[in-house]
Structure formats: structure tokens, C-alpha cells
Chains A and B, each alone.
Chain A
Amino acid sequence: MDALISQLQRQFRDHTISLYQQGFLDDQFTELKKLQDDGSPDFVAEVLSLFFEDCVKLISNMARALDQTTGAVDFSTVGASVHQLKGSSSSVGAKRVKALCVSFKDFCEAQNFEGCVRCLQQVDIEYKTLKSKLQDLFNLEKQIIQAGGIVPQVDIN
């Protein structure tokens, strides 16, 4: 069992490091981990889950607002949703999503329709990618615990 635990721990460590190195996560995610303890062992997963639900809702709002078939595009409505997404992505450490929101916000302010549509597509891909990668990470955590091991603290710096 020990060999399995070590292997899982190594995978967990590598996966975590790559998420930071590839810019998916920033140190706000690290901050969230500080808030997790034995009393709240799933805190990070819960918050991220809420964040992803937020993504679905906001992206749907943006898509609706960018739908030209219903009339003129209201860029301020799009911008409001982008602002909210930027805020929550910032709060959970979703670095790439946040960066996209920054560009997206600029396009909204410039009332650049093509730019907005492009950003919307990218944001959609980006949050789904992050969700999938984090799912892998949380699964590794679960497997480590189930195998009787301890989830390692990964030092990013």
C-alpha cells in the first residue's frame, strides 16, 4: 500500500505544481488551501464548485447579451457579468480565467463585438479546462486518503 500511496502523492505533487506553473492557478488558490482543515476538509472543493456554477450562469448571461438576433447588443450587461466573473475567478485563484476577463472587459468597453465573442468562447473553454484539471487533483486527494495516506503540502515557491 505504501508504494501506491507514494506514487499517488507524487502524482498529486506534480499535478499541483504544473497547475501553478502553467498559470491555471495563482496564490489565491494557495490562500484558500490555508482555510481548509480537518473541520472543513472539503472547503476548497466546495468553493471551486460554487465558482464553476457561477461560470455557467454568467457565461450564459453573457451569451444571451451578445445574441444579436434579439436586437442591439447591450455591452454594459455583458460587462456587468464579466466584472462578476473577474471577481469570483480572482477570489478562487483561477488565474487564466481572470486574465481572460480582463481582456473581455476591455472589449466590452470598446464595444468590440468580435472581441467579446472570442473572449466568451475562450472563457468557456478555460473554465472547463480548469474544472477538469481540478477534478483530477481532487480525485488524487481522495485516492491518497482512501489508501490511508496523507495529502502532501506542496510548496509552490
Chain B
Amino acid sequence: MGKEKKQIDGGVSCLRRAEMNMMSVGGMESAPAPLDLEEVHVLAVDDSLVDRIVIERLLRITSCKVTAVDSGWRALEFLGLDNDKASAQLDRLKVDLIITDYCMPGMTGYELLKKIKESSNFREVPVVIMSSENVMTRIDRCLEEGAQDFLLKPVKLADVKRLRSHLATKDVKLSTGNKRKLPEDSDSVTITPPSPSLTISPESSPPLTISPHSSDSSSSLVEMFSSSPIDDDEDEDVLTSSPEESPIRRQKMRSPGLD
């Protein structure tokens, strides 16, 4: 029973396309994998090794790619938010969800939440807070600061599946959401389907994502889903709407399956 888990404190499973030698993120376990725009990527933050292993497994089982770090600082480091200089030199980093423990030494989950919401690159990324304590004032404070959800520990598979199913409806938007606008991006197609005709069935089927790489497929999907001109500037509007008001979310609640 004494097997060592491959990912130890602060270990970061690398999903960045950029060269990692730009910053040290404390113990990379593998070479950078090619960025897969179709998979949901979650950044999990928890100072407890046991909890990190569990949350990572929960997320992997629900088809997420996971990067697990042991502190708020490492999370900021990973996101490129840890220094003042513009991080324009980094390639796009795709993070679709940040899930963080509340009670952590150094930087609390609440403080991390604030820093993420203050950043122009990542403020649209949903942040979920986990806590072992069911304190209403704490929950309210986090929700007011823009947290997407608050999970009571110990986190269960049903909790993560629920989160995952909410993300699935946003997959189409999220894969374009937090990309930084680099010069070479100008010819890539971003797709924002405001129409609620796209619904994703949760849990069993893999999420439907639109890859902007293949121009052929994207143009036909664009025709299918878009009811407004494709325009990078429209990203902001679509993403800042709160999930509760999003037509896709409402639609999803009524009919959870793809026709």
C-alpha cells in the first residue's frame, strides 16, 4: 500500500503550448502536451495532497484535462498572472474552469478568486470554491465576488458531474473565450453561437466542441449556429452574461439531450 502518487505537491501536469522554461512552476511531471482545444481544461487548487488527488480523479473521470497545483500563488504563476509585465509573449492558455479550496495558507481561495476576476485574460473563466465549512457569509462573499459555484467538501462525483454538465453548454463559447489576442490570431475563426439551438447532453456523451482549426468544418458550423456576424469583439458580450440568464443554460434545463 505504499505506492507514491506520480503527482506530488505543486506538481503541474503541463498543458501549455508555450515553452515552460519561461517560468518554473515547481516540478513538472511531463513534457508539454499539444494543446487540445476540444477538451475541457480545469485548473484545480488545493493545499491538501489527498484532496488534490481526489479532485483530479473526479475531474478526469468526467472527461476533463486537469492541472492541479498546491497554492494560489502557483495557480497565478500557471495562469501567467504572477508578474506585472504583459504576458503577451505566452501562447494561448486554455483554462475552462478554476476550482479552488477556500482555506489555504498564504493565499485563500477567496483572494485567488479576486485576482482572477481582476485579470482581463481570465475574468470570464468560471471559478468554483470548495470548502469544508458551510458558512453562509463565506458563501455569499464568494458568490458576490463572482464565484460560479460553491461546493461543500467532501466533493462527490455528482457535484463534479453537475459542474461538468454546466460547462458542456459553454464549451462552444469557452474554447475561444480566454485566448489572448495575438497578432497571428487575426486569421483564426472564433465562433460564438448565441442561438440556443445547441444543447449538450451531460455525463455520458463527450462534449460537443467546435474546433476553430479546421476552416471547412467551422464555416459550416458557423452557418448552423450563428445568427449574428462572427466578430471577435462580440466575445465579451456573450461571456459576461451570467450563466443563469444565458439562454443556453435555460434551454439545457428543459431539454437535456441533443436531438
In the complex, which of the residues A32, A34, A90, A135 contacts B1, with contact meaning CB atoms closer than 8 Å? Answer: A135
Which residues in B have their C-beta under 8 angstroms from that of A34?
Answer: 157
Contacts A42-B3, A46-B5; is A91 near B157 (CB within 8 Å)? Answer: no
Q: How far is the CB of B159 from chain A (nearest CB, A)?
A: 10
Assembled-state Cα–Cα distance A48/B48 (Å): 13
Q: Are B154 and A83 in contact (CB under 8 A)?
A: no
Measured in the bound complex, the distance between the Cα atoms of B1 and A135 in whole Å is: 8
A87 in contact with B157 given A46-B3, A49-B3 (CB within 8 Å): no
Could you tell me if A31 and B49 are in contact, using CB atoms closer than 8 angstroms? no
Which segment of B30-38, B52-60, B173-181, B186-194 sits at the interface? B52-60
Are the CB atoms of A88 and B51 closer together than 8 Å? yes
List residues of A (43-82) whose CB comes within 8 Å of B's CBs.
43, 45-52, 54
Question: Least Cβ distance of A4 to chain B in Å?
Answer: 23
Q: Complex formed: what's the CA distance from A46 to B49 in Å?
A: 12
Interface pair B3/A86, CB less than 8 Å apart: no
- Chain A residues near B153: list those with CB within 8 A: 87, 90-91
Q: Give chain A residues whose Cβ lies under 8 Å from the Cβ of B1.
A: 45, 48-49, 52, 135, 138
Task: Say whether B54 contacts A91, CB under 8 Å.
Answer: yes
Cβ of A84: which chain B residues have Cβ within 8 Å of it?
Answer: 48
- A135 CB contacts on chain B under 8 angstroms: 1
Q: Contact between A32 and B3 (Cβ–Cβ < 8 Å)? A: no
Number of A-B contacts (CB under 8 A): 62
The answer to whether the Cβ of A143 comes within 8 Å of any Cβ in the partner chain is no
Q: Is there contact, CB below 8 Å, between B48 and A88?
A: yes
The secondary structure that dominates the A interface is helix
A28 in the interface, Cβ–Cβ < 8 Å?
A: yes
Interface residues contributed by chain A, number (CB under 8 Å): 28
- CB-CB under 8 A from A50, the residues of chain B are 5, 49-50, 53
Chain B nearest CB from A25 CB (Å) reads 13
Q: A31-B156, A43-B57, A135-B1 are in contact. Are A83 and B48 (CB under 8 A)?
A: no
| 10-58 of chain A: CB within 8 A of chain B | 28, 31-32, 34-35, 40, 42-43, 45-52, 54
Is A92 interfacial (CB-CB < 8 Å)?
A: yes
CA of A46 to CA of B5, assembled, Å = 7
Q: For B53, what are the chain A residues with a Cβ–Cβ distance below 8 Å?
A: 46-47, 50
| Cα-based distance from A52 to B10 in the complex (angstroms) | 20
B163 interface residue per 8 A CB criterion: no
Q: Is the CB of A31 within 8 A of B50?
A: no
Q: How far is the CA of A45 from the CA of B3 in the complex (A)?
A: 9
Nearest to B57 among chain A residues (CB) is A35
Q: What residues on A are CB-neighbors of B103 within 8 Å?
A: 83
Please determine whether A32 and B54 come into contact, CB atoms closer than 8 angstroms: yes
- The answer to whether A31 touches B157, judged by C-beta atoms less than 8 angstroms apart, is yes
- The answer, yes or no, to whether B2 is at the interface (CB within 8 Å) is yes
Which residue in chain A gives the minimum CB-CB distance to B53? Answer: A47
A contact residues around B48 at 8 Å (CB): 54, 84, 87-88, 91
Interface residue ranges, B against A (CB under 8 Å): 1-3, 5, 48-51, 53-54, 57-58, 61, 103, 132, 153-157
Residues of A within 8 A of B (CB): 28, 31-32, 34-35, 40, 42-43, 45-52, 54, 83-84, 86-88, 90-93, 135, 138
Known: A28-B154, A91-B50, A91-B54. 9 other contacts (CB 8 A): A32-B54, A40-B57, A42-B3, A45-B3, A47-B50, A50-B5, A51-B50, A54-B48, A90-B132
